[in-house]
């Protein structure tokens, strides 16, 4: 009988894993955020250093262990897209097998398998290119260690610390989830032994912190600043968004929420699992505190793994009817949001509309957003090519170029080793340290920062052109950290000064003054260039003037009249001209773009200088100054370049 039971359980395990594999392949995809890491991987393997932008040492990925694993895969296979998906599938299936094997009865195993299949977030993030599959494996192993009470105390403690350390090297916030169980595993270990063993087992995480500090100048990724430190959004607003994240999961992925609630609740009620469940509860509190995430369900998956590790043995100790009931409930709950996505054809997965995103508080099914382009079975799949955009920007070859972009994964990968992406959301070392441009209007994970006056020119020329002296001093030290030779004395001095806050006062002064109240920058009319070739990129022509949020003030040498103004402009903003006499606005007009010249490349049409014409209102009369402001339009957020002007010619 025991042999027959073992065979039936093994058969059930194989069938459940095959079903999971089929679903995972149907849903397999990579997301835009994955390509943030893949750009660093490609640069590193290609010999450009472990960098994101070619000229900066900035850690834009949050998962060093995952990055190292993908780098090894890229080095072995010479390819990234399929390699990332295969590695993800292997890890996810391994984690699922580890969790399901803890079910001691066939009924319990099937119930847990049904829970995995009907949890939307789990099937979605078995791939995606993010670190979630590695998290699955490490947490499955971690729960197996901390729940085994028959091990020698020292061995149990050492393994739990080692796995927690590896998990923290995958995502730092997983340390919070693992901490209670790690502390509980110290029972029976002499404290001197615990210190020695704990220090040795923590080496993966500690070594990475040392490497990151040495190479990047900071133990934390730049995205920690972008999403967690000093973002300028009230804590109550973030917590409210975190609760919305849980609320969205309740209707979008009810099995996920039910499993987490049931598993952690049972875990807290039982002594052997209490500390493990407490870690899950603390992690959920952290998720709410930071505002959740824009990727539906993803941040709830670590507690979900813990919950399943609690439920599998609990179901094994109950009658088969209990397991059958759990499986039935999971199937019913799964049907509430509609037919599971993996039962639809791949062409069904389409991105949500802007209206849907707004109605969902910015939270969305991220797989739907990118499946059409990056889904494994998508009929419209288009695998990004590293450096593919460079040939378009520089068809004849050439130097570094700059792109302004807020969806930086695929765009950054396309940019390759020559393109510098200026990202106001996640990846720029200076901008991510600034607070939200508008603390009342933001999307979680996408907090927009305002680009300070002179920063575009600083990036383009390599010279510090920042207008505010306090910010300029802060940036000098930051730039030394990210670009100077890693062992240079100047860099060590800059690291010490940044660590001790030597430039923080100037930084805070900028935030309190110019950042919140953008200045109107004066530009002498004689400094504007003569007409430049249409389609000229701003980063190729130093005489092009960037129009920041405060606008430009252009004084004239003497009062004059004009019938029209011919203005060379750039960017997908509207250009508003105001005409002044003795400091008083006499009239204003919006310039209108003229058709581009025949044969101009489409990229130069949207990212280069264009010709605009403005009719001066008759009531203006004489004027002695012109103000130019960039006005936001529905297309502004898609602009690959900042608003700027070239020549301005008056037609009398």
pLDDT of residue 5: 59
- Mean pLDDT for the stretch of residues 102-126: 96
DSSP 8-state assignment for residue 350: -
Alpha-carbon distance of 374 to 28, in angstroms, equals: 9
Instruction: Give me the mean pLDDT over the 20-48 stretch.
Output: 95
- pLDDT computed for residue 406 by the predictor: 62
Burial 560-571 (b: 16+ CB within 10 A, else e): eebeebbbbbbb
Q: Yes or no: say if 303 and 283 are a contact pair by the CB < 8 Å rule.
A: yes
DSSP 8-state assignment for residue 315: H
The lowest-confidence range among 84-88, 129-133, 189-193 is 189-193
Give the whole-number percent of the chain exceeding pLDDT 70.
Answer: 99
What's the mean per-residue pLDDT of the chain?
93
What distance in Å separates the CA atoms of residue 96 and residue 76, rounded to the nearest whole number? 26
Two structure tokens written together for 487: 């062992």
CATH number at 521-651:
2.60.120
Q: What is the pLDDT of residue 434?
A: 95
How far is residue 115's CA from residue 330's CA, in Å, rounded to a whole number? 6
Mean pLDDT of all residues in 113-130:
97
Query: With b meaning 16 or more CB within 10 Å and e meaning fewer, what string describes 274-292?
Result: ebbbbbbbbbbeebbebbb
> What is the predicted pLDDT for the residue at 2?
56
The whole-angstrom separation of Cα 246 and Cα 115 is 19
Q: Which two tokens stand for residue 282?
A: 């603390």
CA nearest neighbour of 58 among 648, 481, 340, 519? 481
CATH 2.60.120: which residues of the chain?
521-651
Question: pLDDT-based confidence at 96, cuts 50/70/90?
Answer: very high
* pLDDT greater than 90 at residue 408: no
For residue 644, the SS3 value is: strand
Report the pLDDT averaged over residues 327-338: 92
pLDDT at position 640, please? 87
- The encoded tokens of residue 104 equal 């001691």
Q: What is the mean pLDDT of residues 639-643?
A: 90
Show the tokens assigned to 74. Answer: 């890229």
Residues whose CB falls within 8 Å of the CB of residue 33, separated by 6 or more in sequence, listed in order: 129, 130, 409
Evaluate whether 164 touches 143 at the Cβ level (below 8 Å): no
pLDDT score for 344: 87
Q: What is the pLDDT of residue 4?
A: 61
- Does 521 have pLDDT greater than 90? yes
CA dist., res. 221 & res. 61, Å (int): 6
Q: Can you give the pLDDT at residue 1?
A: 43
**How large is the average pLDDT for residues 621-650?**
92
Highest mean predicted confidence (pLDDT) among 48-57, 239-248, 400-409, 438-447: 239-248
- Bridge partners of 537? 608
Q: What pLDDT score does 400 carry? A: 82
Query: Average pLDDT of 179-183?
Result: 97
pLDDT interval class at 527 (50, 70, 90)? very high
pLDDT in tens, 257-274: 999 999 999 999 998 899
């Amino acid at each position: 009988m025991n042999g027959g039971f073992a065979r039936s359980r093994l058969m059930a395990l194989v069938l459940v894993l095959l079903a999971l594999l089929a679903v995972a392949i149907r849903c397999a995809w990579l997301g835009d955020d994955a390509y943030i890491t893949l750009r660093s991987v490609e640069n590193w393997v290609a010999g450009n250093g472990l960098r994101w932008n070619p000229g900066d040492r900035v850690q834009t990925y949050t998962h060093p262990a995952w990055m190292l694993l993908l780098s090894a895969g890229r080095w072995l296979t010479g390819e990234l897209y399929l390699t990332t998906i295969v590695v993800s599938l292997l890890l996810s299936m391994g984690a699922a097998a580890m969790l399901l094997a803890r079910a001691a009865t066939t009924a319990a195993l099937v119930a847990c398998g049904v829970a995995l299949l009907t949890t939307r977030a789990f099937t979605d993030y078995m791939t995606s290119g993010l670190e979630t599959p590695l998290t699955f494996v490490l947490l499955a192993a971690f729960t197996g260690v901390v729940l085994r009470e028959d091990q020698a105390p020292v061995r149990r403690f050492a393994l739990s610390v080692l796995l927690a350390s590896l998990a923290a090297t995958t995502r730092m916030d997983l340390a919070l989830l693992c901490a209670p169980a790690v502390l509980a595993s110290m029972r029976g270990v002499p404290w001197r032994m615990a210190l020695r063993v704990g220090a040795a087992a923590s080496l993966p995480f500690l070594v990475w912190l040392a490497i990151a500090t040495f190479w990047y100048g900071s133990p934390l990724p730049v995205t920690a600043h972008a999403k967690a430190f000093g973002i300028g959004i009230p804590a109550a607003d973030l917590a409210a968004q975190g609760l919305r994240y849980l609320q969205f999961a309740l209707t979008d992925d009810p099995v996920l929420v039910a499993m987490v609630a049931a598993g952690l609740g049972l875990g807290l009620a039982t002594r052997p699992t209490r500390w493990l469940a407490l870690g899950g509860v603390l992690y959920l509190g952290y998720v709410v505190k930071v505002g959740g995430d824009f990727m539906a369900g993803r941040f709830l998956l670590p507690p979900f793994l813990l919950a399943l590790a609690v439920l599998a043995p609990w179901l094994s100790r109950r009658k088969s009817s209990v397991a059958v009931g759990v499986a039935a409930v999971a199937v019913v709950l799964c049907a509430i949001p509609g037919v599971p996505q993996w039962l639809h054809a791949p062409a069904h997965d389409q991105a949500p509309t802007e209206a849907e995103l707004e109605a969902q508080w910015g939270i969305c099914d991220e797989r739907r957003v990118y499946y059409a382009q990056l889904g494994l079975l998508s009929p419209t799949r288009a695998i990004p090519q590293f450096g593919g955009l460079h040939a378009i920007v520089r068809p004849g070859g050439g130097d570094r170029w700059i792109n302004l972009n807020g969806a930086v994964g695929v765009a950054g990968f396309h940019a390759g080793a020559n393109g510098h992406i200026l990202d106001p959301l996640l990846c720029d070392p200076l901008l991510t340290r600034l607070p939200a441009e508008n603390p009342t209007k933001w999307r979680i994970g996408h907090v927009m920062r305002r680009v300070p006056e002179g920063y575009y020119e600083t990036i383009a020329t390599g010279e510090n052109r920042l207008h505010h002296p306090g910010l300029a001093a802060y940036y000098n030290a930051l730039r030394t950290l990210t670009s100077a030779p890693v062992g240079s004395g100047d860099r060590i001095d800059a690291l010490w000064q940044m660590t001790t806050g030597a430039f923080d006062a100037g930084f805070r002064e900028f935030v309190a003054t110019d950042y919140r109240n953008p200045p109107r920058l004066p530009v002498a009319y004689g400094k504007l260039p003569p007409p430049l070739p249409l389609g000229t990129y701003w980063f190729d022509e130093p005489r092009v003037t960037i129009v920041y949020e405060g606008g430009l003030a252009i004084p004239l040498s003497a009062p004059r009249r004009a019938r029209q103004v011919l203005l060379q402009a750039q960017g997908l903003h509207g250009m508003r001209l105001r005409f002044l006499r003795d400091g008083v606005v006499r009239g204003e007009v919006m310039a209108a773009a003229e058709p581009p010249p025949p044969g101009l490349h489409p990229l130069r049409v949207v990212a280069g200088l264009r010709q605009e014409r403005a009719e001066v209102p008759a009531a203006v009369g004489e004027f002695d100054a012109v103000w130019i402001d960039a006005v936001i339009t529905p297309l502004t957020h898609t602009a690959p370049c900042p608003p700027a002007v070239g020549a301005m010619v008056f037609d009398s």
